[in-house]
Amino acid sequence: MERKITISPVTRIEGHARVTIHLNEDGKVEKAFMHVDQFRGFEKFSEGRHFSEMPIITPRICGICPISHHLASAKATDEIIGVDIPRTAKLLRELIHMGQIIQSHSMHFFELAGPDLILGWDADPKIRNVVGLIQENPQLALKAVKLRKFGQRIIELVAGRRIHPTFAVPGGVNSALSIEARDEILKGIDEMIEYIKEGIKIAEDFIEKNKETCDKFASFSTGYMGLVKEDGSLELYDGKIRFMDKDGNIVKEFKPKYYLKYIGEKVEDWTYLKFPYYKPFGYPEGVYRVGPLARLNIADKISTPLANEEFKKFKALGNGKPVEGSIYYHYARLIETIYALERAREILEDPDAMSQDVLRLGEVVNEEGIGVVEAPRGTLIHHYWVDEKGTIEKVNLIVSTGHNNWAMNKAVEEVAKAFVDGKNLKEGMLNRVEGAIRCYDPCLSCSTHAIGKMPLLIELYDKEGNLLDIIKRD
Amino acid sequence: MKKILLVGFGNPFRRDDGLGIKLLDLIDDKVEKLKVQELTFDMAEIFKDYDIVIFIDASIEGDEISFKKITEEKTFSPLTHHTSCEELLSWTRTLYNKNPEFYLLSIKGYDFDFGEEISERALENLKKGLEFIKGFLENI
C-alpha cells in the first residue's frame, strides 16, 4: 500500500512550504517533495506602475530581507535611466546591505539553526525554544537579539527606517551619511564581531563532534552560483556572476545583465516554484545552489582579514572540492556575517562615504533594467521592462529561495530516505527533515501574515486518500 | 501612568492583510505606535520597556473583531522567520525578566490578494476595531 506523509507548516495563507513524503508498503520513503507557493503575484501587481516606485514596492515582498529587494530594484532602475551612480551612493547602499546580512544571518543562526546545533535534533520540542537555549547558554539569546538589532540599527541610521526604507532611488540614494551615524556604527562593530565569534565556535564545535553527520546530512553534488569581485573574492552587492560546476571548476563568469542567456527555469506541475538551472548544462544537469555555502564555494578568498581566516578553514573542509553538506550553510552564514561587519567598517572608514555627492538624476533611456545583489539567502535578480514613459510593462524576479528549489527538494528527499521510518514516526525524524530545509533558510514567510494559525502536521494517507495516522505539533 | 505600545503588523500591499497597519493610521498620534510587516524575536528588546503591548493584525478566521490577552507559549517556529505574539512574550519574560501585558486585536479580513485597498467588509470590521481600541485605551 502506498502511503503519503504531509508536513505542512502552513501558518499563513500564502508563501509557505509543504512537504510530502511518499512511503512504500514497507514504510520506507519512496520520494519526497517540497512544495512552495511563490509570490509571482507581485510581478503582475507591479505592471502599470512607474519604474521609480519599484524600490519602494518590491521590498514588501519580504519582511525579513526587504533591503535586498530594495537594492536589487534600485540597481535595475539605475539601468533604466542609464546612470552610473556616485561612488558614495554605492558605498552607502552596500553599507545597508551589510546591515541586512548581519540582521538576517544572525537571526537565522541563533533562532532557527541554533536549537538544532546546540540542543540537538532529538531534543523535545518543548525545550527546543528560547528557554531551552537559555538554559544551555544563558547569554547567547541576548547576544542574538543585540546582533540583529545592530544590523537593523545600521539600516535605520543610514537609510532612515529599519524596515522598508525609501533610501535607494534611481541614480543613487536620497541622503548622505551623518558623522553621528558613522560613529555610532563604528563604535559597535568590535563587540558584534566577538558575538559572531561565539557563534562560529558553536558551529565549529558541532562540526568537530559531528563531522560524519555534517559531511553526509543532505550532502549532494550540484553546481554553485553567486557574485564575486573582479579578483574572485566574495562579493554581496555588485560584481560578476560566477558559475562553478559540481567538481569545483569555474565554467563561466558573466555580467548580471546576461543572466537570461545562462539561467533557465524548469516548470514542474506539483509546485508553483520554478527550478532554475544553468542553461548550457540543461536540466537537471545544470541545477545549482546559491547562498552562503555557494558563495564561499565559488569565491577564491574574502577581502577582509578575520573572515578570510575562517574562509580558509571552510575551504579545507572540501579538500579542494566544493563543500557539499547542507549543514555547512550554517557555518558559511557566520563567516559571511564577520565579513559584513568588517566590510561595514571599511566603508565607514572610507572618506568617500561622507561625501554629499549621492545622486545622479536621469530620464528613461533604456527599455530594460536588471539589478542583481546577493541577498542573505542567495542571488536575487530584478528585471524590469518599461515603456518610453517609464511605466512597467513586465517584471521578472528570481529570488534566492527559487534558485535553491531543486536543492531543497533534494535535501528533503535525502534526509527523509535516511531518517524517516513510516512505521515508527518520531519527532526527531520530522525535525531532521525540517532541519534540512532550515539549512537553506528559505524565505517562506514573505507575503501575508494574517493570523490563522495552523499546526505543523504529518499526515499518513493510503493511496485511496484515507487518513491513517497524524502527528500534530501546535 | 501605564506605558502603552500599539503594534500593527501585516503587509499593506496584500489588501486586508494591512488592516493592522491601517488601524494605526487612524489612531491618535499621542499613542506610541509601531508598524511592522511581521514580528521577529528581537522585538522583545523593544517590548520590555512597556507595561501594555497591543498587537493588531488581520485574521482569516473567527469573528469580525476579537480581542484576547496573550499567554506565554514556549514555542519554536520550525521553518518561518515569523515569531508569534505568544513566543515573543516568552522571549520578553525570559530574556529581560520583564512582564508586560500582551493583547491581540484580530480584525477579520476577506481579500488577501495583491493591492492596497481594504475590502468593503473589512473596512466595516476596521471601524469596529478602531472603536474597540479607543474604548480600551480610555479605560486603562
User: How many domains does one find in chain A?
Assistant: 4
Cα–Cα distance list, B119 to A170, A450, B19, B41 (Å): 33, 14, 10, 31
d(CA A470, CA A464): 16
Please check whether residue A307 lies inside any domain of the structure. no
Please give the pLDDT value at position A120: 79
Gap from B34 CA to chain A (nearest CA, Å): 11
Q: Are residues A335 and A420 in the same domain?
A: no
Within 10 Å of residue A320's Cβ, how many Cβ atoms?
A: 7
B11 touches chain A (CB under 8 A): yes
Contact residues on chain A for B79, CB-CB shorter than 8 A: 9, 16-17, 112, 434, 437-438, 442, 444
Q: Are residues A375 and A343 in the same domain?
A: no
Report ipTM for this prediction.
0.81
d(CA A472, CA A173): 48
Residue A4, φ and ψ in degrees, nearest 5 = -130, 135
Q: Are residues A72 and A99 in the same domain?
A: no
Through-space distance between the first and last CA atoms of chain A, rounded to whole angstroms: 29
pLDDT < 50 regions, chain A: 1, 8-15, 445-450, 452-458, 473-474
**Option in B79, B81, B115 nearest A9 (CB):** B79
B125 touches chain A (CB under 8 A): no
Of A375, A403, A431, which residue sits at a domain end? A403
d(CA A430, CA A418): 12
Q: Are residues A121 and A195 in the same domain?
A: yes
Please give the pLDDT value at position A363: 96
Range of the domain at A56: 47-83+361-403
User: How many domains does one find in chain B?
Assistant: 1
- Give the pairing type, strands B101-108 and B65-69: antiparallel
Gap from A172 CA to chain B (nearest CA, Å): 25
CA angle A460, A461, A465 (to 5 degrees): 155
Cα–Cα distance list, A464 to A5, A226, A468, B121 (Å): 13, 44, 11, 40
Cell matching residue A2: 502506498
Within 10 Å of residue A357's Cβ, how many Cβ atoms?
A: 13
Please check whether residue A188 lies inside any domain of the structure. yes
B44 touches chain A (CB under 8 A): yes
Under 8 Å between Cβ of A184 and A344: no
A450–B114 CB contact, under 8 Å: no
Residue A66, φ and ψ in degrees, nearest 5 = -65, -30
Please check whether residue A320 lies inside any domain of the structure. no
Q: Are residues A435 and A348 in the same domain?
A: no
Under 8 Å between Cβ of A373 and A254: no
- Window 56-95 of B: residues touching A by CB (8 A cutoff) are 57-61, 74-84, 87, 90-91, 94-95
Q: Are residues A214 and A330 in the same domain?
A: yes
d(CA A200, CA B133): 46
Test the A interface: residue of B7, B14, B113 with most A CBs within 10 Å = B14
Q: Are residues A122 and A198 in the same domain?
A: yes
Q: Are residues A343 and A231 in the same domain?
A: no
Q: Are residues A155 and A210 in the same domain?
A: yes
Please check whether residue A106 lies inside any domain of the structure. yes
B74–A129 CB contact, under 8 Å: yes
Per-residue model confidence as pLDDT tens digits over A292-342? 999 999 999 999 999 999 999 999 999 999 999 999 999 999 999 999 999
Closest CA to A295 of A375, A361, A215, A389: A375
A42–B114 CB contact, under 8 Å: yes
Please give the pLDDT value at position A467: 56
Gap from A107 CA to chain B (nearest CA, Å): 8
Per-residue model confidence as pLDDT tens digits over A250-281? 999 999 999 999 999 998 776 667 889 999 99
Please give the pLDDT value at position A235: 98
Q: Are residues A334 and A188 in the same domain?
A: yes
Q: Are residues A96 and A199 in the same domain?
A: yes
d(CA A168, CA A152): 16
Please check whether residue A311 lies inside any domain of the structure. no
Please check whether residue A451 lies inside any domain of the structure. yes
Burial of residue A165 (number of CB atoms within 10 Å: 0-12, 13-18, 19+)? buried
A445–B78 CB contact, under 8 Å: no
d(CA A91, CA A167): 13
Please give the pLDDT value at position B112: 83
Q: Are residues A151 and A187 in the same domain?
A: yes
Please check whether residue A317 lies inside any domain of the structure. no
Range of the domain at B78: 4-138
pTM of the model: 0.89
Average pLDDT per 10 consecutive residues for chain B, totaling 140 residues: 93 89 90 89 91 94 93 64 82 88 95 88 97 92
Under 8 Å between Cβ of A227 and A242: yes
Which CATH number characterizes residue B56's domain?
3.40.50.1450
A126–B74 CB contact, under 8 Å: yes
